[in-house]
Amino acid sequence: MQTKPLVGISADRTMRGVHPSHVVGEKYIAAVVDGAHALAVLLPALGERQTPEDVLAHVDGLLFTGSYSNVEPRRYGGHASAPGTLHDPARDATTLPLMRAAIDAGIPVLAICRGFQEMNVVFGGTLHQSVHTVDGYDDHRENKEDDLDVQYGPSHALHLVQGGLLQKLAGGASEARVNSLHGQGVERLGNGLTVEAHAPDGLIEAISVANARAFALGVQWHPEWKHANDALSTAIFRAFGAACRERMRMKTGSAASAHA
């Protein structure tokens, strides 16, 4: 009998030398295994070669990761990207329909950084392609010359929306501190999404899906980084894992009833 939920983790399609490859950062895998106490399976960016229904039949939750690539602007009616912008059309073709299908099916979803931006696009929202060039917003990018612990260290305050899911996970706190390693950000909020937190400059930093059947949270920062050392990160992965275990129990119960 399955004792741990199975969480699918979205992969990027990238080149390793001359070979197309599908890649997931180990920090995401570790956060699922150690933070959510789940089994992890990596989902290749195969687009239409695998249907959302085929994937959802096997998983109890989905984690949509961050990435160096940006969502293609055509996916949300944006203007052409600046020259040199990295895109991953295979990931877009995989994650966007998969995320919507999962949320509609009541499968828990945690979306991080690019995943957070995908969640906004999935629900009809738009993105700022370069937040630091927009009047009124700070530069939310990391300094790539810094050590990783500095890049992923607390960067700015997070203002939590009163009564929201994220504030509950934060034990009722009104503020937290988070890292900041992104160039894009939410421009227009998608339909049916609820704002859970803002940065000090007003940029949306966390969203949830209103009236979702299961856990459906998106965060702009990286809670997977040394998640066990941060109270809010720990709470996010624990809550996600609990939702995945509940989904597993529901699925197992339905299967048992079908064979009774």
List the catalytic residues. 113, 222, 224
- Share in percent of the chain as helix, strand, coil (round to 5): 35, 25, 45
Q: What sign results for the dihedral spanned by CA atoms 62, 67, 21, 31?
A: negative
Angle between helices 89-105 and 114-122 (to 10 degrees): 60
The Cα-based distances of 203 to 17, 41, 43, 130, 173 in angstroms read: 37, 32, 30, 12, 19
Q: Helix, strand or coil for residue 170?
A: coil
Q: How far apart are CA 69 and CA 145, in angstroms?
A: 19
Burial class (CB in 10 A: 0-12, 13-18, 19+), 105: middle
